[in-house]
Amino acid sequence: MEVDSRLRNSAITVALLGLVALSWSNWIDERADAVTAENLKQALAVFALARTFNGVISVAQGTELAIQPVGVGVTLTPGEILDSLNDLLEQFSALALLASVSLGLQLTLGKIMASPMLSGVITIVVVGYLGFRWASKTSDPELDRSLNRILGLALFVRFLLATVLLCTWWIDAQFLQGIQDRAVANLTATSGSIRAINAESTPLPPEPESGFLDRTADGISRLLDTSRDALDVENQLERLHEKAEASIEELINLIVVFLLQTLLIPIATLYACGWLLRWYWQSVTR
């Protein structure tokens, strides 16, 4: 019986000293900080893209494409197609900014959790706990439960944030990163298409005066060119409408990614860790 108790105490000692060494080494914290910093960089890049895209759409909403097929003037406003996308972009920009702030806050809290002061507290708690286990000849159930609870709470606080950040990063890398990359690529391409339309909307300078025959020939040529341009512009606007709808879908995907990355997954991981702590507390009171 005494041999079993010594073996158990030895195993507990090795495990706890390993956790103390892990706390002082900051290895897990450095990993968590690195992946969170990368997520923050991506969130800021997406926020900048959304704001730039919003500006491009604002320019498009103030431009008009004037064409005259068969001598009839028609004015097309590509910005009208983008109203819904622009409204969603404004809301998404606010969410992307909040996500960036949340990730920055997590980075700051991670540095606090990795401070030498907290590692010193962990060391004191572990040394006191092990000293009691090895030095005590008689078992005091109430004191033993109290020490176990203090130890569990101290380790929970020390490693909780790093665990949450690494779990979030793993789920993000496995399931969410591809969705985010695809959405960013779509928004970048759509922004480029709108920029091209904005450039084409610049009016051409007036042509110099010419003779009657030249004006007649130019008029016929311009009529044919304008008819072709009208068809081309209509096709271009139709493609823009399709791209805008696709961008709305990708923006919704990005909203889901940011909500999962900065809110739902951390809360779920925190709940799981809290459940483990409650289970530990209940197990040491039996």
Percent of the chain with pLDDT over 70: 78
**Position 205 pLDDT exceeds 70:** no
**Position 156 pLDDT exceeds 50:** yes
Percent of the chain with pLDDT over 90: 57
What's the CA gap between 285 and 175, in Å, rounded? 39
- Tokens linked to 271: 């709940």
- At 201, the pLDDT band (50, 70, 90 cuts) reads low
Contact (Cβ atoms closer than 8 angstroms) between residue 223 and residue 70 = yes
What's the CA gap between 101 and 40, in Å, rounded? 8
pTM of structure: 0.81
Contact (Cβ atoms closer than 8 angstroms) between residue 93 and residue 57 = no
What is the three-class DSSP state of 171? Answer: helix
b/e map of 132-167 (b: 16 or more CB within 10 Å)?
A: ebeeeeeeeeeeeeebbeebbebbbebbbbbbbbbb
Per-residue model confidence (pLDDT) at position 222: 52
**Position 125 pLDDT exceeds 50:** yes
- State the average pLDDT over residues 276-282: 89
- State the average pLDDT over residues 54-60: 86
Per-residue model confidence (pLDDT) at position 261: 92
**Position 226 pLDDT exceeds 80:** no
What's the CA gap between 181 and 256, in Å, rounded? 13
- At 61, the pLDDT band (50, 70, 90 cuts) reads confident
